[in-house]
A and B are shown apart, each in its own frame.
Chain A
Amino acid sequence: MDLDPLLLSRLQFAFTISFHILFPAFTIGLAWWIVMLEGVWLWTNRPIFRSLSEFWTKIFAISFGMGVVSGIVMSYQFGTNWSRWSDVTGNVLGPLIQYEVVTAFFLEAAFLGIMLFGRDRVPRPIHFLATFLVALGTLISAFWILSANSWMHTPAGYEIRDGRFFVTDWWQVVFNPSFPYRLAHMLTATFLTASFVVAGFSAWYMLREHHLEHARQGMAWSLGLITVLAPLQVVIGDLHGLNTLDHQPAKIAAMEGHWEGGPQAPLILFGIPDMEQERNHYEIGIPGLSSLILTHEFEGEVPGLKQFPREDRPNAAIVFFSFRVMVGLGLLMVLVAVLHVILRLRGTLFENRAFMRFLIAMTPSGFVALEMGWITTEAGRQPWVVQGLMRTADAVTPSLTGPAAATTLAAFVAAYAIIYLAGSYYLVRMLRTGPNPPSHYMQPHEPARDAPRPKRPLSKADQAFAEGE
C-alpha cells in the first residue's frame, strides 16, 4: 500500500483544524456571555449573575484549555506539513499570524489567569476588566486569522517574484475582498453557537425543574440574541455567497450543484453530484430559483462546474452536502427565533415543554453548522490552497514521507479522541451538577489580598443578606 503524504497531510490538517475550531467557535461567544454576566453582576449586585458567571466560567476554562493546546498544533503544522506553502506565502501571511499572537493570544492568556483564579485577589472592576480583555482577545484573534484565511480565498495586494508572494499593499492584504463577509459570518456563527449551548442547557434545567432562576435568565438572554442573530446570519450568509460568486465561481457551482450553469438555473434541493459523469443523480430542484437568489433575476447567468477544467474543480459532493446541512441548520435557527417571538407574545415561553425539547435538540446545532460552513468554504477552494495561484499539491512538504505522516495522523486521532472524551465527560458532569445557588454568593465581596481565603463563605452570607442585599 502506498501512503500518499499529500493526502495524509490534508486529512491531518482537516482533522486537527476541525477539532480545534470547535473550541474557539464556542469560547468567543461564551466569553462575551460571561462579560455580560460579570457586567450585570457588577452593576446590580444580584447574586444570580455571579453564580451564572462562575458556572459558565468553569465551562469556559475547560473549552479554552482544549482550544489552546489544539491551537499550538495549528501554528506548527503550517511548517511541518506545508513547508512549500510557508515559504511561498510567508511574507504575506506570517505577519498576520504574528499579529494575532501579539495582539490576541498574549492578551487572552495573561488575563485568563485573573479571570479564572483571581476573583478574590483583585478588586471587582479589575476582575471585570480582565474578563473583558480575554473576550476582546478572542475577537482580535478572529480578526487576524480570518484575514489570513480570507487572503487565501481572495488574494490581493501582492506581487509574485521568483515564485513567492511579496506584499505591495498591506491594507489590501488585510482587508481583502472576502474578509469583511467572512469575519461577519464567522463571528455571528460563534455567538449563535454559544447562544444555542446556553439556551439548550437552560431549557434542560427548566424541564427538570432544577436551577430555575438560572434557567430563566439563560433562556431569556440567549433566545433574545438568537432572535436577532439567526435572521441576520441568513442575510450575511447571502452577501458572503454573492461575494464568493464574484471571486470563486467554481465554489458556487459546487455549492449549488450546477454542472451546466447559465440562465434560469434551478435551486437544487437534493441530488447526488457525480464527478465522473458530470451530473447529479436523483435531482430535485425548483426551476429558476438559484438564478434568482444569486443574480436577483430569473434570466441571470450562474456558473456551472463544466465551465472549469476538470483539474480545477472542487469535490462537488462534499461541498454540495456540507453547504446544505449548514443552510438547513441555519433555517432551523430562524425557526427558533420565530417560535421564541410567538411564545413571548403569548407569554408562555417558560411553560412550553415542546419548545424546550426543541432547544435541547438544537444545543449542538451551532457547532455542526459552523463545521459544515468551513468545510464548504475550504473544500470549495480546492484544488487551490491560494485561490487560482498555488495548488494544494504544490504546498506540501517535499521531504515528508507517507509513513511519517500516517504515524502522526494516527497519533493525533488517538490523542484528540482521548482528550475529547475526557473533556466531554467533565463538561457534562459539570453541567449535570449545575451552578451554585445564588445564596452561595450573598456576602459582601472584598478583595482579600494576602489574607487566607475563607473556606466556606456561607457563614457570612445570612448576615450580609440581612444587611441589604
Chain B
Amino acid sequence: MTEDWQTLTLIWTGICAFAVVMYVLMDGFDLGIGILFPFVRQDEDRDVMMNSVAPIWDFNETWLILGGAGLFAAFPLVYAVVLPAFYLPLMLMLIALIFRGVAFEFRFKARTSRALWDRSFHFGSVLATFAQGVVLGGLIQGVEVQGRSFAGGMLDWLTPFSIVTGVALIFGYALLGATWMIWRSSGDLQAWAYQAARPLLYAVLAFIVIVSVWTPIAEPGIRERWFSLPNLFLLSPVPLVTGLTAVGLLRALDRRREVLPFILTMVLFVLSFLGLAISLWPVIVPPSITIWDAASPPESQIFLLVGMVFLIPSILLYTAYCYWVFRGKVTGTFYH
C-alpha cells in the first residue's frame, strides 16, 4: 500500500461520495415532486410541478448512473458485492424509475390516459425512493461476504430497520420536493407547499432521531465511533448543527422565505450523510470491506482522474448554466 495509492483512493472516495450526495439532492427533489403529486388538488398545479423538473430530471438521474459507474470503476469490489446483495430492491428501483421517467413524456401526450401516467409518476417515485432507502438501511446493517462475492440470501436486506429507512427517505425526498416547490412556484401551489413542508419536516426530524438512536444501539462499532472519548466531543458539532439547521428551517418557513427552506433542507441531507460517513469510515461495505480493500489499482484510478479534473468542473459549470436558463417561477404552459 503506497502513499500515492492511498491519496488516490481517498480522492476517489471523495468523488464517489460527492456523486452520491449530488444524486440524493438533485434527484431527491424531483422524486419528491412525484411523491407529493397526488396530494395537490388542481390539475394545473400538477402541470406546474411537472414542468418545474421536466427540463432537468434526466440530468439529475444521470448522477445515479455516475454513482453506479463510479463504483464499478473506482471500487469494483463494492459494485460486485453490494449490487447482488440488494438485487430485489435495486430491480424494484429500476423498474419504478422507468415508469416514472416515461411519465414525463407520455403525460403531456396523453389525452384519456393522463390520470394513468399521473399515477405512474407518483407510484414510480414512491417505490424508487423507498427502494433507495431500503438499500441504505440494509447497507448500514451490513452484508455477508465470502471471498470477493456476496454470500447471503436474496432477502437478507428485509429487516424492520431497512423498512424504516425506506419510509424515512420517502418523507425526506418529499420535504426536498415541497421546499423546491416553495422556491419555484407561486400563488396557491406555493401556499400549499408551505403547508406541506412543516409536517414533513417534523416527520423527517423524527426519523433522523430514530435512526440516530437505533444504529448505535444495534451496531457496537458505530456506538464506539460516536460515544467514546474524545470522539464524543469532536463529533458533537454534527448533531448540534443538525439541530440548528432544523430550527432555522422552521423559522424560514414561518417567515415565508422562498429559497432558504430548500437550501436548509439540502444542508439537513448533507449532515445526515456526513453522520453516516463518520459512522462507517473507513468501511464502505459493512461489516468488513474497507475502501482500501475495494479500491481499484492506481493505473485505473489515474486514467480516470486525469479526465475528471477537467470534466467534473465543466459539468458543474454547464449544469449551472442550464439551471439558470430555466430560472424563475414556473408556469403551466411550457411544454415543447
Contact A102 B66 (CB under 8 A): yes
Contact A114 B84 (CB under 8 A): no
Residues of A within 8 Å of B85, CB to CB, are: 399
A399 and B68 contact, Cβ closer than 8 Å, known pairs A54-B336, A76-B83, A404-B87: no
Chain B, Cβ-Cβ closest to A16: B94
Residues of A within 8 Å of B64, CB to CB, are: 72
Besides the contacts A404-B154, A411-B95, what 12 more A-B pairs have beta carbons closer than 8 Å? A80-B84, A80-B87, A87-B148, A94-B76, A98-B304, A113-B326, A167-B300, A170-B303, A397-B84, A404-B88, A423-B102, A426-B109
**Interface flag for A235 (CB, 8 Å):** no
**Interface flag for B136 (CB, 8 Å):** no
Chain B, Cβ-Cβ closest to A98: B73
Chain A interface size, as a band, is: 35 or more
Q: Which B residues from 282 to 317 make CB contacts under 8 A with A?
A: 296-297, 299-300, 303-304, 307-308, 311-312, 315
Q: Which B residues from 62 to 82 make CB contacts under 8 A with A?
A: 62, 64-66, 68-74, 76-77, 79-82
Q: Residues 78-121 of chain A: 1 if any B CB is under 8 Å from the residue's CB, otherwise 0? A: 11100110110011111101111111011101111110111101
**Interface flag for A401 (CB, 8 Å):** yes
Write the residues of chain A forming the contact surface with B, with a CB cutoff of 8 angstroms: 54, 57-58, 61-62, 65-66, 68-73, 75-76, 78-80, 83-84, 86-87, 90-95, 97-103, 105-107, 109-114, 116-119, 121-122, 166-168, 170, 397-401, 403-404, 407-408, 411-412, 415-416, 419, 422-423, 426, 429-430, 450, 452-453, 455
Partner among A91, A167, A419, A453 whose Cβ is within 8 Å of the Cβ of B98: A419
Contact A75 B69 (CB under 8 A): yes
The tally of CB-CB contacts under 8 A between chains A and B is: 240
CA–CA, A437 and B21, complex, Å: 46
Contact B326 A105 (CB under 8 A): no
Contact B70 A111 (CB under 8 A): no
CA–CA, A79 and B135, complex, Å: 14
Main secondary structure of the interface of A (DSSP, over half): helix
Q: Residues 312-326 of chain B: 1 if any A CB is under 8 Å from the residue's CB, otherwise 0? A: 100100110010011
A113 and B56 contact, Cβ closer than 8 Å, known pairs A76-B83, A80-B87: yes
Partner among A83, A105, A423 whose Cβ is within 8 Å of the Cβ of B106: A423
Contact A83 B319 (CB under 8 A): no
Contact B73 A95 (CB under 8 A): yes
Partner among B65, B80, B148 whose Cβ is within 8 Å of the Cβ of A72: B65
Residues of B within 8 Å of A72, CB to CB, are: 61, 64-65, 94, 97
Contact A415 B98 (CB under 8 A): yes
Residues of A within 8 Å of B88, CB to CB, are: 404, 407-408
Contact A113 B84 (CB under 8 A): no
**Interface flag for B161 (CB, 8 Å):** no
Contact B318 A90 (CB under 8 A): no
CA–CA, A423 and B110, complex, Å: 10
B106 to chain A, nearest CB (A): 6
Contact A80 B91 (CB under 8 A): yes
Q: Which of B98, B99, B151, B299 has the most CB of A within 10 A?
A: B98
Contact B94 A76 (CB under 8 A): yes
A117 and B335 contact, Cβ closer than 8 Å, known pairs A69-B97, A87-B148: yes
Residues of B within 8 Å of A426, CB to CB, are: 105-106, 109-110
CA–CA, A80 and B86, complex, Å: 8
Q: Which B residues from 322 to 336 make CB contacts under 8 A with A?
A: 322, 325-326, 328, 331, 333-336
